[in-house]
Each structure stands twice: as C-alpha cells, then as structure tokens.
A and B are shown apart, each in its own frame.
Chain A
C-alpha cells in the first residue's frame, strides 16, 4: 500500500516536472530554423520567445513593427527644419547608405566627442544639419526613423567597437552591468548571464541580447528602444532607472549590445 502511494506520488512529481518543462517555448539548437538566431553560445531573445510570438515576427505583415518601418520610410524623404533638408538629401538611398549602420551603434562620435546611440545620432543630425527640433524620446517619429534606419541592417551581425575612444565607456558599462542595484539587490548579470534560461517566477529569463531593438513588445502594445527596455528592467528589479540618454543608460546599452556581437540584427523584433 505504502509502495503504491509512493509510486503514485513519484509519478505525480514526474508529471508536474514534465508539465513545467513543456511550458517553456521549444528550442532546439540544431533546428536549421534557429540558425539565424544563434551565434556560438549566444542566443537571441527570439529563441526564448513563444512560437506564436516568433510567427508574428517572421511575417513582415503580422509584425506590427513594420508599421514603424513604413512610417520611417516616408520620413526619410520628407524635408524638415530650417535647412529645408530631408535625410535623403545628404544620405541618398537609405537601403544603400544605411546598410550596416545599425550594427555599430552605440559608437563614439568624433564630432560630438562622446558615445552616441543611433537615436541620439539621428537627433544630432536633426538639430545640427537639418535645423529641426529633436524628436522627443519614445515618440512615434523618434521610434519610426530609428527603426527604419536599423532595419536596413537586417540580418547583418552586430559589430560594436569597444577599443580606442570607446574603451572608457565600455569599462563603465561593464562595471554597471555587474553592479548590484535596487531593492532586489541584483545586477544585470544575475539574470542575463548566470540565470539565463531559468525562471524568475513565471518569467523565462533571456540572455538579454538587444539585437532586435527598436522592438515591438506585446506588453507595451507598442514599439520601443533599448534605452526604454533597460529602464524597464531596472523597474522590474525595483531599482531606480537611470534617466533616458544618461551616460549610465547609454554605456549599459553599449555593453549589452557588445554582448550580442555576432548575433544578427532583427529590428523590428517582436517580443512578449
């Protein structure tokens, strides 16, 4: 009797484990469909996403991020500001001139003398070359033009530089990535390096690879930048987020993007 009970308990435990294992989205590193989303041990957030979310990203039509790509395309040729110029007047055809640009940001900008994200670079171009007002962080045009530019590098491997003038920013980024913060007293690395693939409550932790930004998040019901996501992460671990475009947030974006070096640009990606 006792034996049967124990066997039944064991069976129940085993069943429970099986159910839990099934809850994770399927991922087989040998699956050829996954090949574009893996680079060595690095895994894009795509491989941690539910099959339904992956399907949404795979089809350009169902991927809501393409609404922003299309908006950005229209903006590319639209003149704005005192100089009466559009992006196109200096940069020509975006499909040629912007190819690969999305793989190297954040990068050191010699003109500004500091590290700039792609969005910050676009705003610099607007104020200094076009004589136009900066786009407000997380506004529709801010995200649209950045997504359009980044999308021109779709499928190309991320390749941010960390040497030369970038080195001090990179070191700071690494320091912050490993620095414990907030009420949970944890650092980026705890979730995204040590515990990637495991659960934080119901949440499956990804490696935190930002190769799909700007990305459409179903939780946000809209598209957003890496800066916004990093702030969201800090909120989730009950730490005070660094201000938008602050040095801290920008070097963290640099460090996180460097971690994704070799993974392909997926912008606009779709995530949960």
Chain B
C-alpha cells in the first residue's frame, strides 16, 4: 500500500497563498516494459490526482505513463477558511490512496 506524504502549513492568514507539496511511493509501471520471459508488464500507474478543500475540488491533474516513479507534485492554494485539504491518488486498478491535512485560517 503506497504511503502518501504531504507537506503544507498548519496555519495560514486569510487570503494567503500557500504551497502544498505531495509525494507518494508508487512504481508507476508504464506498460512499456517486458518481463524476463518477454511478456509485457501491464500498465499500473496513478492516472489521476485530485485535491479537495472542505469538500470542494480545488486542484486535479491527469497523469500518463511517462510520469516517473514516486511522483512528486506541488501546487498552490489560497487560504479561504479553516478546514481540511484532502488528497486522492487514483490507481489504474481502481484503488484510491487518500490522505488529508487540517489547516487553520486566522
């Protein structure tokens, strides 16, 4: 089970723009490789990354097979209200890896 890691501030001033850094350990098997017997290794990548802020989608990104293993993604959000930023990584096999962090807006 991949472990997501997130780095973002715990507090922010209202209207402040803050950076969220994320990474997750994942092989991102591209589907282009072959195993020892010459059979293609099926593609298994995280194909979508979505972010919600208090339930409202604020960022999303579609990933393809050229994205490296252990993908790193950072983005900026505007602090509007206290609450939860939730991140979801959608795997090809249907699994969703999720994590969330709280932010207090003063």
**A residues apposed to B, CB below 8 Å:** 61-62, 64, 66-67, 70-71, 218, 221-222
Q: Is the CB of B3 within 8 A of A71?
A: yes
Q: Is the CB of A62 within 8 A of B21?
A: yes
- Decide yes or no: A62 and B72 within 8 Å by CB, A67-B3, A67-B5, A71-B3 being known contacts: yes
B70 CB within 8 Å of chain A:
yes
A58 smallest CB distance to B (angstroms): 14
Can you identify 6 A-B contacts, CB atoms within 8 angstroms?
A: A61-B5, A62-B21, A64-B69, A67-B3, A67-B70, A222-B70
- Decide yes or no: A64 and B7 within 8 Å by CB, A221-B69, A222-B69 being known contacts: no
Hey, which chain A residues are within 8 Å of B21, CB to CB? 61-62
Hey, which chain A residues are within 8 Å of B28, CB to CB? 221
Q: Is the CB of B68 within 8 A of A61?
A: no
Contact partner, A70, options B3, B69, B72, Cβ 8 Å: B3
A223's closest neighbor in chain B, by CB? B70
B22's closest neighbor in chain A, by CB? A61
A227 smallest CB distance to B (angstroms): 20
Q: Is the CB of B68 within 8 A of A67?
A: no
B101 CB within 8 Å of chain A:
no
B99 CB within 8 Å of chain A:
no
Hey, which chain B residues are within 8 Å of A218, CB to CB? 68
Other than the given A61-B21, A64-B72, A71-B25, 7 more pairs (CB < 8 A) read A62-B21, A66-B5, A67-B25, A70-B3, A218-B68, A221-B68, A221-B69
Residues 20-44 of B, flagged 1 when their CB comes within 8 A of A and 0 if not, give 0101010110000000000000000
B26's closest neighbor in chain A, by CB? A67
Contact partner, B23, options A62, A221, A222, Cβ 8 Å: A62
Hey, which chain A residues are within 8 Å of B25, CB to CB? 64, 67, 71
Q: How far does the alpha carbon of A67 sit from the alpha carbon of B27 in the complex, in Å?
A: 12
**In the complex, the 7 A-B pairs of residues with the closest C-beta atoms, listed nearest first:** A221-B69, A67-B25, A64-B70, A61-B7, A61-B21, A62-B72, A221-B68
